[in-house]
Amino acid sequence: MSRSHMQSLGDSQPVLVDAVRSPFGKSGSLYVNTRADDIMVRVLRGLLERNPQLSPSAIDDVAIAAATQAGDQGMNIGRSASLLAGIPNTVPGYSIDRWCAGAMTSVTTLAGAIAAGAYDIAVAGGVEHMGNHPIGEGMDPNPRYLAEKIVDQDALAMGSTAERLHDKFPHLTKERADKFALSSQMKTAAAYAAGEIQRDLIPVAVRSAELGYGIATVDEPPRPTTTMEGLAALKTPFRPAGRVTAGNSSGLNDGATAAIIASAGKAKELGLPVKAKMVSFAFAGVEPEIMGYGPVPSTIKALEKAGLSIGEIGLFEINEAFAVQVLSFLDHFGIGDDDARVNIHGGAIAVGHPLASSGIRLMLNLARGFEKHPEVQYGITTMCIGLGMGGTVIWENPHFTQKAGA
C-alpha cells in the first residue's frame, strides 16, 4: 500500500483536534425564536471552552458554512459569528457554501491550507436554520437548466432525486429503505441510552413564546418508537405510490457544528488531543437527477488518492439524507445493509440533517468510533450534495493498535 500525500506530510499533516455540535431541532420548533448565528456562536464558544490549551488568538482562520447565505446566516457568517463568539478581531474568517457538504468543505479547505504550511490551526463549522431559511429560499434557478435540458425538473427537488435512485436500482426496495431507517432510529436510541451522543452536545439557550426561556440539551428529531408498520403506512410526497417518505429520509432541521483542525506538529506543541488524522479527501460529480449517488465516485477518488481499498476501511459515517442513498453506496461496494461498521450511533434519519452543518457531525461520530475501536485503522466520512455531487474524507485512527499476528 502506498502512503498518501497527507500521511507523508509529517508535522504538517492535518488532524482533527475536537468537534462539537448543538442539539439538532425540528425546523421552526426547538429554535423557532433563536437566531442561526446565535446557535453558531454558542457552539464556537463551547468548542473553545473544551480546549483551554488553545488561545483563540492562535487561530489562523475561521471558516463557517451555510447553504443559505442570507439574513441571520449572512453577513459573512465565518467572520461575524467568530467576532460574536469573542474570538479576537485579529483572527480572520470567511463563509463557505457547498450546500449539504458545507461543513465538510470548511474542514477540507482549511486542511489544505494547513497541509500547504500556510496555517497551523483553524476552526471550521457549519450552521443551518431551516426554520428561518426553508430549503431553496431566495434561489432563482436559471431557466436554461430546464430549457436546454441541462437538468431534469427532478434535479431541483432532493426527494425526487431519491425516487430516481430507487428507479435506477429497483432492488433497493422501499422495504429495505424502511429497515435501514428503523435501524438508524434504534442505533440512535441505544447511543443516547449509553450516553454516547450527549457528551458532545453544547447546550444552547432557546426561547418559546409559550414556554419562555429554556436550554436545549438533546436532539429533538429522534423517534425511538418507530416501527416497520408505521414506516410502511407513511405517504410518499414526491411521487404517487413512491418509495421515499418522511420516515426513510432526514428531516428539515436547525443546528450547528464546529471543529478544530490543526497540523500534527502544532497539536503536539500545544498539547491538544488528536481525534483523527486526515489521509485524503475528494469531491466528485454525478448526474444531478441522481444526486444521492455522489458519494460513490468521491469515495473511489479518495481511496485512490490514499492508496487504500474499500476493504481497509473499518468504520463508515455516511450521511443519511435518504435511506436509498446510503443503500446505493453500500450496494456498490458490496457492504451489507446492516453492516456493523456503518453509522454505529445512527445517523441523520434519526438526529436530523441541518444541511451545511452535517459534515462535521459525521467526523465527530467517526472520532468517537475510533476511540471505541482501536483495532480499526481507517474510517470514512461521506455525503451526497445537491445538484449531483459527493464528498468523502478518509481518516486514520490515532488510537490504532495493530493486533498481534495481524
Catalytic residues: 100, 353, 384
H helices of 221-294, in order, are 228-232, 264-270
* Contact between residue 63 and residue 94 where contact means Cβ atoms under 8 Å apart: yes
Residue 55 CB partners (closer than 8 Å, separation 6+): none
- Written as nine digits, the cell of 229 is 408498520
The backbone region for 120, taken as left when phi is positive above 0, alpha when psi lies in -120 to 50, beta otherwise, is alpha
Tell me how long the chain is. Answer: 406
Alpha carbon distance 287, 297 (integer Å): 12
Q: Coil, strand, or helix at residue 253?
A: strand
Which residue shows C-alpha cell 458519494?
295
Which residue shows C-alpha cell 441505544?
190
Alpha carbon distance 104, 102 (integer Å): 5
Alpha carbon distance 279, 314 (integer Å): 14
> Which residues, in sequence order, are bridge partners of residue 215?
205
* Contact between residue 274 and residue 18 where contact means Cβ atoms under 8 Å apart: no
Q: Coil, strand, or helix at residue 365?
A: helix
Backbone φ and ψ for 106, nearest 5 degrees, come out as -60, -45
Alpha carbon distance 26, 7 (integer Å): 39
* Contact between residue 56 and residue 92 where contact means Cβ atoms under 8 Å apart: no
